[in-house]
């Protein structure tokens, strides 16, 4: 994905954490830069039930290494994940992590909602948006079939109800499909509410519900390798919509970070080449 071969219309493109799951942040940044990405998505908080392998919030030395790597490679951090808005979340407790995100130049804080009390969660989301807004960041809500927000409509109503200008949606194409939504739902949204698109592919047929989590964390396909409506969806979005490749594949478990980054970049190059040529 170099200057000679990349389609001219290529939007801002990041290599998300899950595409190189477990990678040291410096190795992630260097591999993404070498493969032609302009940004990365870093993990600053672990999803519920998981632990961080590389804690940028609590390890100042690692943070400094990461900042140097970003500067040396001329890379940006598109998003920081995966903050959870749970029943016991205290927004003030996130202030230090948000400060670290701002230090890294993060544009988007990505969250999921686990609180079953949607009204309470919405109020706290508003607080998160206020905290992030003071630091120049947006907060993007990602919906999933097994979370409290289980559809595009629920997530859109949640964000709109909070009334925060920097509250946006993170659209993961796998979850959009598995929640029973389609590009038509995206077309009905105000463009400014789409903060980020996680691009990944999959078979069109829905798996059993109990397999959704395993598919999301290791059973994805690169864009263009599956049967989802990715080209139709990308065509609906503003050209400058931030895109992240999020395609963790169990078959890549033995591959290096550099190789996984290269494969993801090559897949995105093929995908955008098809778009430029008007092919499906």
Full 3-state SS string of the chain: CCCCCCCCCCCCEEECHHHHCCCCHHHHHHHHHHHCCCEEEEECCCCCCCCCCCCCCCCHHHHHHHHHHHHHHCCEEEEEEEEEECCCCCHHHHHHHHHHHHHCCCCEEEEEECCCCHHHHHHHHHHHHHHHHCCCCEEEEECCCCCCCCCHHHHHHHHHHHCCCCEEEEEEHHHHHHCCCCHHHHHCCCHHHEEEEEECECCCCCCCHHHHHHHHHHECECCCCCCCCHHHHHHHCCCCCCEEECCCEHHHCCCCHHHHHHHHHHHHHHHHHHHHHCCC
Residue whose C-alpha is closest to residue 167's, from 199, 135, 147, 137 = 137
Q: Determine the pLDDT at residue 11.
A: 66
Q: Which residue has the tokens 């946006």?
A: 168
Q: Are the beta carbons of 20 and 244 closer than 8 angstroms?
A: no
The CATH number of 17-277, from 3.30.43.10, 1.10.10.10, 2.30.40.10, 3.20.20.150, is 3.20.20.150
End-to-end CA distance of the chain: 20
pLDDT at residue number 8: 33
Q: What is the pLDDT of residue 139?
A: 98
Is residue 101 within 8 A of residue 129, CB to CB? The reply is no
Q: What is the pLDDT of residue 2?
A: 42
Q: What is the pLDDT of residue 226?
A: 96
pLDDT the model gives residue 280: 57
- Report the C-alpha gap between 166 and 172 in whole angstroms: 19
The values of phi and psi at residue 109, to 5°, are -90, 120
Supply the pLDDT for residue 5.
40
Q: Cα separation of 31 and 166, whole Å?
A: 30
What does the pLDDT read at residue 10?
A: 56
φ/ψ of 108, rounded to 5, equals -135, 125
What confidence score (pLDDT) does residue 48 get? 86
Note the pLDDT of residue 186: 95
* Residue boundaries of the structural domains of the chain: 17-277
Q: pLDDT of the chain along its 280 residues, tens only?
A: 443 344 334 567 999 999 999 999 999 999 999 999 999 999 999 988 889 999 999 999 999 999 999 999 999 999 999 999 999 999 999 999 999 999 999 999 999 999 999 999 999 999 999 999 999 999 999 999 999 999 999 999 999 999 999 999 999 999 999 999 999 999 999 999 999 999 999 999 999 999 999 999 999 999 999 999 999 999 999 888 999 999 999 999 899 999 999 999 999 999 999 888 876 5
């Amino acid at each position: 994905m170099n200057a000679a071969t990349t389609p001219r219309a290529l939007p801002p493109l990041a290599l998300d954490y899950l595409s190189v799951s477990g990678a040291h942040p410096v190795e992630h940044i260097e591999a993404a830069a070498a493969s032609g990405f302009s940004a990365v998505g870093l993990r600053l908080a672990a999803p519920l039930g998981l632990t961080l392998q590389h804690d940028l919030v609590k390890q100042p030395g690692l943070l400094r290494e990461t900042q140097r790597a970003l500067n040396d490679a001329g890379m940006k951090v598109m998003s920081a994940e995966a903050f959870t808005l749970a029943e016991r979340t205290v927004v003030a407790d996130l202030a230090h992590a948000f400060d670290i995100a701002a230090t890294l130049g993060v544009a988007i804080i990505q969250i999921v909602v686990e609180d079953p009390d949607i009204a309470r969660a919405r109020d706290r989301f508003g607080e998160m948006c206020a905290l992030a807004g003071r630091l120049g960041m947006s907060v993007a809500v990602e919906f999933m079939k097994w979370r409290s927000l289980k559809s595009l409509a629920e997530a859109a109503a949640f964000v709109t109800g909070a009334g925060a200008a920097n509250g946006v949606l993170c659209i993961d194409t796998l979850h959009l499909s598995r929640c029973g939504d389609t590009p038509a739902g995206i077309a009905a949204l105000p463009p400014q509410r789409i903060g980020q698109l996680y691009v990944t592919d999959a078979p069109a047929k829905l798996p059993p519900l109990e397999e959704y989590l395993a598919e999301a964390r290791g059973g994805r396909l690169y864009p263009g390798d599956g049967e989802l409506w990715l080209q139709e969806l990308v065509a609906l979005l503003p050209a400058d919509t931030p895109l992240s490749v999020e395609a963790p594949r169990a078959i890549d478990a033995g591959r290096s970070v550099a190789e996984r980054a290269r494969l993801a970049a090559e897949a995105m190059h093929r995908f955008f080449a098809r778009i430029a040529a008007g092919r499906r």
